[in-house]
Amino acid sequence: MYIIAGLGNPTREYDKTRHNVGFEAIDVLADKLGIPMTEKKHKAIYGMGMAGYQKVILSKPQTYMNLSGESIRSMADFYKVEPEHVIVICDDINLVEGQLRIRLKGSAGGHNGLKNIIQHLGTQEFPRIRVGVGEKPKEMDLADYVLGRFPKELESVMADAYVAAAEAAIMMVEDGAEKAMNYFNRKK
């Protein structure tokens, strides 16, 4: 069984912001796999279904970004899912808009959501799909940037990125993370 958690902030106020790319990718993934996102437990909105022959839980933690680990740990403990089967989809300001980067493990890289997940899981060894949201302008505050929305001209680029992130997650579950890394990390 896999948990695929897309990071973001709940409430309409944060819809379509850079920080919510994980939520957007989970919505695409749920649609692709025909999984209704109707369950509300473990401080998350989630749904269960299949990706190929693998059981998957798609999750959108509702704890706000900086406390994402609380929800993911609760779900991983309840369903007895090891960290290497917890795939996290999140934003990355170090990648150009729409670029994906898949990693099997690593530091938080300054991302507070990842930092909290590492703290709660007690390991950096869980796969993640980082979705590029572009570099923050020097004169802008980081929080203002990641809580801002994409300009109109990047909306289609990001829509394609959500589809790619969903496809990457499916490939990671069905064919292994190495294959997904080889395929998606070379693009762009």
Domain ranges in the chain are 2-184
Widest Cα–Cα separation across the chain: 48
**Catalytic one among 19, 42, 85, 120?**
19
* 64 labeled binding residue: yes
* 14 labeled binding residue: yes
Fold classification of 2-184 is Rossmann fold (3.40.50)
* 2 labeled binding residue: no
* 53 labeled binding residue: no
Contact 67, 88 (CB under 8 A): no
pTM: 0.96
What are the angstrom distances between the C-alpha of 62 and each of 20, 23, 68, 91, 173?
12, 10, 8, 16, 24
Q: Along the chain (188 residues), what's the average pLDDT of each consecutive run of 10 residues?
A: 97 95 98 98 98 96 96 98 98 96 94 97 97 94 94 96 98 95 82
Alpha-carbon distance 102 to 137, whole Å? 24
- pLDDT score for 131: 97
In DSSP notation, 53-103 reads TEEEEEEEE-S-GGGHHHHHHHHHHHHT--GGGEEEEEEETTS-TT-EEEE
Can you say how many angstroms the Cα of residue 183 is from the centroid of all Cα atoms in its chain?
18
- pLDDT score for 181: 95
- pLDDT score for 187: 64
19 is catalytic: yes
- pLDDT score for 186: 76
